[in-house]
Structure 1
């Protein structure tokens, strides 16, 4: 059996994770941006490892993210207790309608719009990262970039602490392969109106390197 698989979106995130690793059995792979490519690439990596007789023990979606103001600080670390496909549904004159209320059935695959982190894996990561904020991490196909959409999203998900673009996709691949899953993020910017000058990418990557020591 292989060790832990860590999936990131881009090479810079993978490099930050590798820089902090202390366990040589951890495999880090950048797979691309967005839930679809993350799901497909993770599923392929898990299937290839299983076919080779060396299945992974667990998979972690890791990288940087936007954080909700007053819920997590920029530069902070987040552990997801669950990963949610925040925009999987439909708009309507009365507001957002989640996919499960549209008569569709993602649960037929055993996976709904929300995938909980593996409890044992989450406990281990919380013990290793006691200062991390724990809460829901949203997966979106389009990064939130206005005050209005931020307020709507925060209202729909009062327990959400961050948003990223891959966690739910990785979670679905892991769930269908029956592999434990967790999501680890460090915060590079506040969610809201797009302001590149306010982003602290260097701090987020440094925090990711520090947090990577917990991945073992």
Structure 2
């Protein structure tokens, strides 16, 4: 079994790694995946770290912020990798009030590119209605359902946005279009699209660091969310070790 876990930033990757250590996974080494073309001035190539136990490997890669960086980085990692069985988009994110409290975990049944489309006088038009592609990826299979039970996580739609929500009006507009939405983040759709290009199952897991709505950094609980992410990845490996791709 080989699994690729894709985060946006190093802090999320470190939290995932800490969870894998709790599950008995030892660090096997790392490699540099990105070329310098993907980096800003002075940035080092992002490391893909490998962890293993009893013949199983989980690779953790901070691919970058946003769906474009996530898709490009995931594709690079999958193309250079040894062959994977599953791809997981993981990190912290915003939770919609009343359904995803701060510090809780959410697992995707559906990943939606919530702002991929066009504006109009009548409102937002999804890219699918424009006839140019898709804006949804259904991702939850048997493994996702097992993860929901093991983690005590909420299960539903996770939105991928390119601009994080900062107003009550925007939050209400998103919920009107996606009433089953639990959370928003910025990478899941890109990761899932890349995985689909390789014929691989994927799902998204988010630890909630803030409410979706008016931007209030004083209310963010990033540390609590990262700790929840670590706890989650201490529990997930036993599920993955007993899972096969035939079950998704």
Same fold, TM-score > 0.5, yes or no: yes
Query: What is the alpha-carbon distance in structure 2 between the residues aligned to residue 141 and residue 135 of structure 1?
Result: 20
Given the alignment, which residue of 102, 120, 133 partners 2:130?
A: 102
Query: What is the alpha-carbon distance in structure 2 between the residues aligned to residue 190 and residue 159 of structure 1?
Result: 16
Deviation at 1:154, TM superposition (A): 1.0
Given the alignment, which residue of 52, 73, 76 partners 1:44?
A: 76
CA contact (8 A) 1:121 1:182 kept: no
Given the alignment, which residue of 92, 102, 115 partners 2:137?
A: 115
Given the alignment, which residue of 175, 190, 198 partners 1:177?
A: 198
CA contact (8 A) 1:5 1:28 kept: yes
* Equivalent residue number for residue 158 of structure 1: 179
CA contact (8 A) 1:121 1:180 kept: no
* Equivalent residue number for residue 43 of structure 2: none
Gaps of 5+ in 2: 26-51, 238-248
Compare CA radii of gyration and give the structure with the larger one: 2
Runs of 4+ in 1 over 2 A off after TM superposition: none
SS state of the match for residue 75, structure 1?
coil
* Equivalent residue number for residue 103 of structure 2: 75
Deviation at 1:118, TM superposition (A): 4.2
For normalisation by structure 1, the TM-score amounts to 0.91
Deviation at 1:123, TM superposition (A): 2.3
CA contact (8 A) 1:79 1:135 kept: yes
* Equivalent residue number for residue 31 of structure 2: none
Query: What is the alpha-carbon distance in structure 2 between the residues aligned to residue 163 and residue 147 of structure 1?
Result: 14
SS state of the match for residue 128, structure 2?
helix
Q: Deviations over 1:17-42 (max 9, x none)?
A: 10011242211110100000100110
Query: What is the alpha-carbon distance in structure 2 between the residues aligned to residue 56 and residue 103 of structure 1?
Result: 32
* Equivalent residue number for residue 2 of structure 2: 3
Deviation at 1:126, TM superposition (A): 2.0
Count of residue correspondences: 204
CA RMSD of aligned residues (A): 1.1
For normalisation by structure 2, the TM-score amounts to 0.80
Query: What is the alpha-carbon distance in structure 1 between the residues aligned to residue 235 and residue 203 of structure 2?
Result: 12
Q: Deviations over 1:93-137 (max 9, x none)?
A: 111101111132x2xxxxx211111413212312321x1000100
Q: Which has the higher contact order (CA 8 A, sep 6+)?
A: 1
Query: What is the alpha-carbon distance in structure 1 between the residues aligned to residue 146 and residue 79 of structure 2?
Result: 25
Given the alignment, which residue of 193, 210, 213 partners 1:192?
A: 213
CA contact (8 A) 1:121 1:181 kept: no
